[in-house]
Amino acid sequence: EPEVTQTPSHQVTQMGQEVILRCVPISNHLYFYWYRQILGQKVEFLVSFYNNEISEKSEIFDDQFSVERPDGSNFTLKIRSTKLEDSAMYFCAKTGSSYNEQFFGPGTRLTVL
């Protein structure tokens, strides 16, 4: 399967700042997902994105979060005003040749100070 890449690998930010996490480069995929993993905890679903629209979002995905596919390839997750509890690994995932399996990017480790 083609790789899913994410940038940056590690982001350190101050509480209240905006961060943008990116999946790059991706083309010809319809389904994307963002997941979050707080250190030592399980992976949690944030949002699914199908054909340039949000398909479903979890209760975690509140108004502080947004997703975009600004240029048809990059897929971004924006956190508008970061909180300490947003510190986590954020994973982008895509479907494979079967829409019922998902392949994860290497993740972005977000640290909020």
Supply the minimum distance, in Å, between the C-beta of residue 113 and another protein.
20
Interface with another protein, residue 37, by CB under 8 A: yes
Interface with another protein, residue 45, by CB under 8 A: yes
Q: Report how far residue 29's alpha carbon sits from residue 19's, in angstroms, rounded to the nearest whole number.
A: 24
DSSP state of 86: G
Interface with another protein, residue 90, by CB under 8 A: no
Interface with another protein, residue 13, by CB under 8 A: no
Q: Report how far residue 54's alpha carbon sits from residue 64's, in angstroms, rounded to the nearest whole number.
A: 15
Interface with another protein, residue 58, by CB under 8 A: yes
Interface with another protein, residue 36, by CB under 8 A: no
- Say which residues have a Cβ less than 8 Å from residue 69's Cβ, sequence separation at least 6: 32, 49, 52, 75, 76
For 91, other C-beta atoms within 10 Å of its C-beta total: 23
Binding site for another protein (CB under 8 A): 31, 33, 35, 37, 41-45, 48, 50, 55-56, 58, 89, 91, 93, 95, 99-104, 106-107, 109
